[in-house]
């Protein structure tokens, strides 16, 4: 069975991107096609801090710990490199 396609849209002026469910955002978003920047891509550096609108699984305990450091006040904050893509989402960078 084919995987579901998920639409990634941005608050800024970038065209939507369509990725397969469970694709890793850090492998598909670039400085050319999105406003999101990545550093470590392993959930440690906080470079990819974003605000997400959309229905995706909650952060793991590891991601929560990093979010507590970089965005303790923002409940919508997530690490783009750690997101499990399951639905359409809208992203805006927080860094
Ligand atoms: S790129 Fe470093 S935390 Fe996501």
CATH code: domain of residue 47: 3.10.20.30
For residue 48, count other CB atoms closer than 10 A to its CB.
25
Residue range(s) defining the domain that contains residue 19: 5-93
Distance of CA 30 from the midpoint of ligand 1 (Å):
14
In this prediction the pTM is 0.93
Q: Identify the H or E element spanning 26.
A: helix 25-28
36-83 per-position pLDDT tens digit: 999 999 999 999 999 999 999 999 999 999 999 999 999 889 999 999
Task: From 27, 30, 39, 77, give the residue whose CB has the most ligand 1 atoms within 8 Å, as the site to mutate.
Answer: 39
Where would I find the beta strands (DSSP E) of 1-95? 5-10, 17-20, 49-54, 77-79, 89-93
Hey, which residues does 41 pair with through a beta bridge? none
Domain count, the chain: 1
Q: Identify the H or E element spanning 61.
A: helix 61-70
Distance of CA 78 from the midpoint of ligand 1 (Å):
10
């Amino acid at each position: 069975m084919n995987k579901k396609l998920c639409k990634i849209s941005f608050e800024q002026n970038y065209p939507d991107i369509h990725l397969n469910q469970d694709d890793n955002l850090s492998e598909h978003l670039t400085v050319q096609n999105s406003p999101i920047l990545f550093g470590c891509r392993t959930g440690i550096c906080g470079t990819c801090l974003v605000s997400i609108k959309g229905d995706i699984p909650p952060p793991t305990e590891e991601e929560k710990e990093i979010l507590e450091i970089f965005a303790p006040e923002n409940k919508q904050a997530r690490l783009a490199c750690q997101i499990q893509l399951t639905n359409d989402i809208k992203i805006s960078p927080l860094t």
